[in-house]
Amino acid sequence: MLRELAARIDEVRTRWEEESGRVSSLEELEEVRIRYLGRKGLLTGLFAVLRELPPAERAEAGRLLNELREEVQRGIERLRAELEAAAEAERLRREAYDLTLPGIWRGVGKLHPLTQVRLEIERIFMEMGFDVATGPEVETDYYNFEALNIPPDHPARDEWDSFYIDEGLLLRTHTSPVQIRVMKSRKPPVRVICPGRCYRRDTPDATHFPVFHQVELLWVERGLTMAHLKWIIEEFVRQFFGPGYEMRFSADFFPFTEPSAQVHIRREGGPWLEIMGAGMVDPAVFREVGYDPEEVTGFAFGLGIERMAMLKYGIDDIRLFFQNDVRFLGQF
Ligand code: PHE
């Protein structure tokens, strides 16, 4: 009996040695483990036979069986350690970074120079206590012209004739209509700036483009004079440009301001560039929005953002802003 069992033990050992030698993955190892040590495994089967042996033979048979079981258990542990180490080495190899590879270059975008300049203008005036208001780019004839004291047959319309969407609707030619919208919705005192895009039927050249940007300013309360207007503009120009610039006021005409002025700026020695129209709000405009011109006075200006940027950065052609060439845009 013992001899018979010993022979079967040897058989299982031979088979184990052969099968364990072929194991090449942790999954296969687990299958092998179950085949030998599992509940219905080969070794478990032999332990069942052990119980049927005569007591005198059981000790020796038990020793032989335990020897084989330990061999199998050690073998499984060893294989598991080897396979896990190999898997880890493979993972590290796969995840390794080649630190000598050059990186992937991704261009980082930045704000358009006109946006940068607009934000800077807004910052300066907000620090002076103005808030920012906006209005629609598609505007009615009433807000763009009529309410600004420009009746249908007024010659000032020629200069501002624009892109009409239909009879009474056009792309606004300036940001001044936002003045009207603000005054109609607020009581004085009013202190706002209104940045935005404008459109004119202009032929493009170095200083004109049919699409451009303005910042409108409006200050209404009791007792404002031309001196306040001049001070605000001087202070703004000083903050925006710093030293090395000259400013020039001269008389102009706008139907919605009286008196009216235009302001030119130049870099010392450079050519003069008109940057804004300005003036004291015309009493007719106050009456139109329901303000009493005997009670309040005010002033306004409309500033060209492109021209501010051109003067600040020494850009000599307005068309560059709209060509979207990153070699140009990337410089600001
Ligand atoms: N709206 C005028 C223009 O576009 C500028 C302006 C604004 C003039 C406010 C006076 C007061 O030319």
195 Cβ inside 6 Å of ligand 1 = no
Closest alpha carbon to 302 in 279, 277, 282: 277
Which residues in the chain show pLDDT less than 70? none
Instruction: Determine contact, residues 272/283, Cβ cutoff 8 Å.
Output: no
pLDDT given for residue 88 in this prediction = 93
Residue corresponding to tokens 């203008």:
121
Q: Mind listing the pLDDT tens digit for each residue in 322-331?
A: 999 999 999 9
Instruction: Determine contact, residues 283/293, Cβ cutoff 8 Å.
Output: yes
For the chain, what is the radius of gyration of the CA atoms? 44
Best substitution site from 143, 233, 256, 280 to test ligand 1's pocket, by max atoms within 8 Å of Cβ? 256
CA of 317 to the centre of ligand 1 (A): 22
**216 backbone dihedrals φ, ψ, rounded to 5°:** -90, 145
The CA–CA distances, whole Å, from 248 to 11, 243, 245 equal 111, 15, 10
Q: Mind listing the pLDDT tens digit for each residue in 9-46?
A: 999 999 999 999 999 999 999 999 999 999 999 988 88
pLDDT given for residue 236 in this prediction = 96
pLDDT given for residue 104 in this prediction = 87
278 Cβ inside 6 Å of ligand 1 = yes
Q: How far apart are CA 16 and CA 21, in angstroms?
A: 8
pLDDT given for residue 230 in this prediction = 95
Q: How far apart are CA 265 and CA 251, in angstroms?
A: 15
CATH 3.30.930.10 fits 113-329, yes or no: yes
Q: How far apart are CA 247 and CA 238, in angstroms?
A: 10
Relative to beta strand 257-267, strand 211-221 is unpaired
- Measured from the Cα of 301, ligand 1's closest atom is 9
Query: Can you list the positions of beta strands (E) in 75-233?
Result: 131-132, 138-140, 164-166, 169-171, 190-199, 211-221
CA of 197 to the centre of ligand 1 (A): 14
> Which residues share a beta bridge with 300?
218, 279
